[in-house]
Structure 1
Amino acid sequence: MTLDQYRDTADKLLAPFVSVADAVGLSPNGVSVVAFGFAVAAGVAFGLADPLWYGLGAVFVFCNGWLDLVDGALAREQGVSSKAGDLLDHVLDRYADIVVLVGLAAGIDSFALGLAAVTGVLMTSYLGTQIQAVGLGRAYGGLVGRADRLALMGLVGLASAVYPDAVGGLTLAGWLLVFFAVVGHLTAVQRFWGAWGDLT
């Protein structure tokens, strides 16, 4: 289950957004910063844990994910792709993951569960970049990639706006954190195992 395999399809839908960003004078790094701003807004909204704020948080998450695609496409359009821009994008993506997950954890007052989810997500992303560092190319595969996480956070945010009650002792946001904690580490192990097989 990984939406990252559809990046080429998503790129084809970006043209109008890239054109607008270029026309108003935004740089790829500027788009990355705006995307991160939406992630912070999503984390705050989820932390408030009110049905209305869950819905807004979902919208903010979707905006973050879409702009995360736009920045790379804009860099290619403007011919300014660089290692510095790639570094900024990756750093802001990781902080975006953290602030949204912390917001979800704060909303249900379960920081231990939030910590488990954050470590799972960060290890998944770390394995992706570390595999690239050893010369195997960027790894987007596995059970859950970043695109999947954003989609799930957005969908759970929308669902929580409609049904904020607990199910089996946890709210939908709580179950999402459990999912990220378990599947995040499984995805990290899956990526490691695949890379290990390629290297040995």
Structure 2
Amino acid sequence: MLNIFARASVSRVTDPIGARLVKIGLTPNAMTVIGTLGAVLGSVWFFPRNELLTGTFVVWGFAMLDLLDGAMARAKGTGTKFGGVLDSSCDRIADGVLGASVVWWCAVVAHNDVLTAAALICLVSGQVISYVKARAEASGLHADVGIVERAERLIITLVGTGLVGLGVPYALHVALWLLAVLSVITIFQRLVAVWQSAQKEAQ
């Protein structure tokens, strides 16, 4: 949802940066891999060590690089099918590792079973949300709906971890349970959209 409203404003900032990066020889695929590796390493290094605030800023910073690969592709004048698959695959890797690192913190560092359950729901549902859309599109159907897409999931999760890192109690509880509920709703929304799309195609 946020992507729809923010895309134009973000592009005005990222497109000039993307054009400059292309001029110095970087490729969109290289930027995708750099952003993913940074987010993965930041997640597995800082969150299990209970360095939530640092981990939040590191993961957020590298996640922002994901905005630049699209800007770089536009600067080059075209994207590639491989680049699209690589970008989507790297997004799933980064999201999965971040979710798993949050689960680890909840279970091993915080020793909180209820919070661990919320984190597991967020981890699984986040992957399912993306899978439903990808599977639908592969079948020629539409599932581009939902109240929490990747941007919202990252924001809610990292706001929660960042606030806990700043010493705000129960911030992650609120963030994860909110995200868990919204993610389940989003799965339902996308499945309904796929069903409606299939019904229209059958007519």
Normalised by the length of structure 2, the TM-score is 0.83
Report deviation, 1:174.
4.3
Per the alignment, residue 24 of structure 1 pairs with: 24
Indicate yes or no: 2:154 matched with 1:157. no
Report deviation, 1:95.
0.7
Indicate yes or no: 2:83 matched with 1:85. yes
Report deviation, 1:64.
3.1
- Percent sequence identity is 27
Structure 1 residues 16 and 79 mapped into 2: Cα distance closer, same or farther (>3 Å)?
Answer: closer
Per the alignment, residue 134 of structure 1 pairs with: 139
SS of the residue aligned with 1:144? coil
Distance 1:7 1:73 in 2: 11
Contact 2:36 2:90 in 1 (8 A): yes
Indicate yes or no: 2:181 matched with 1:177. no
Structure 1: tracts of 5 or more residues without a match: none
Supply the RMSD in Å over aligned alpha carbons. Answer: 2.1
Per mean C-alpha deviation after superposition, the further-off stretch among 105-114 and 89-98 is: 105-114
Per mean C-alpha deviation after superposition, the further-off stretch among 28-37 and 147-156 is: 147-156
* 1:34-62 CA distance string (max 9 Å, x none): 1102221331222222xxx2222222232
Larger radius of gyration: 2
Per the alignment, residue 192 of structure 2 pairs with: 193
Per the alignment, residue 48 of structure 2 pairs with: 47
Q: Which has the higher contact order (CA 8 A, sep 6+)?
A: 1
Q: Which runs of 4+ in 1 moved over 4 A?
A: 110-113
Distance 2:159 2:123 in 1: 19
Structure 1 residues 161 and 20 mapped into 2: Cα distance closer, same or farther (>3 Å)?
Answer: farther
Distance 1:61 1:153 in 2: 11
Structure 1 residues 84 and 78 mapped into 2: Cα distance closer, same or farther (>3 Å)?
Answer: same
Per the alignment, residue 110 of structure 2 pairs with: none
Contact 2:132 2:143 in 1 (8 A): no
Aligned length: 190
Contact 1:123 1:184 in 2 (8 A): no
Q: What letter matches 1:198 in structure 2?
A: S
